[in-house]
Structure 1
Amino acid sequence: MAEPVNPLEKLAGQVGNEIGVSSWITVDQAMIDQFAATTRDHQWIHVDVERARRESPFGATVAHGYLTLSLVAVMSYDIGAVPGDVGVTLNYGLDKVRFLSPVKAGSRVRMRSTLVSLEAKAPGQYLMKCSNIVEIENEPRPALIAETLALLIVA
């Protein structure tokens, strides 16, 4: 009888492959306003709908770049990026982030994630690096590209 494959070992075999594509998330004005309130970033291009319609080069309010970046975590959960035998997943940081296109209020975004590497850091601890592209529905350029790092601690 063959021994079952450890889910982390299976994940290690996926290096270089796309992990998955998330569901769409609508970035509406209410989400943008809540983010502005939380971060205290009330720049008019994000929160003043009428002024943005008149004066913004985008013709509408746009999400904060960091709001879009913050959605990477929930989209990672959506695609099941972390194996089930991992007890704790910690945000370890970012190697690279580029904000390429604004996300207009009311737009939908989703993420494509590719596993770049998985390396042992200590017994039961692994550093996972993913390349994430956050796409905007019906737009030719992505909102952002981010290389994320997560520390996986096996239960």
Structure 2
Amino acid sequence: MTTPSPPLPARSVVVARALADAGVRGEVVELPDSARTAAEAAAALGCLVDQIANSLVFWADGRPLLVMTSGRHRVDTVALARRLGRASIDRATPEQVRAATGQAIGGVAPVGHPAPLETVVDESLAEHGQIWAAGGTPHTVFPTTFDELVRVTGGAVHTVTS
């Protein structure tokens, strides 16, 4: 006899529905420990930090910009602004992140936002057959692939480092 999984947090239910609507097979799972950082997520999942698709929200020319980057990378905002033809890209405040995504920093999923966000996907995530992204809270994640992540976010693929 199998034990039913406990219900997901409300934010993760929204993400799970968006994933299902997009035809994503991977399910949102809740981890017992925090996955707020790429290192925490990798340790909890037993994978490389490179396989963690960090969801970072920036503010670019007055609008939110979601950058899905490998957990091993730091986004070079000056280089990325140049690539995207933006005047500047700055880290969003916690309030801006919540307003744009409906989610808190450390748990921002690539989908399930109040409105679609312009998204950039780090090309280095393509190096892995399976990657993991946040599921709407700092304790939830889901498995995906690079191609699927690009498809469900409508993201533009770029190098995000210098």
Give TM-score scaled by structure 1 length: 0.25
Larger gyration radius, structure 1 or structure 2: 1
Give TM-score scaled by structure 2 length: 0.24
More helix by share: 2
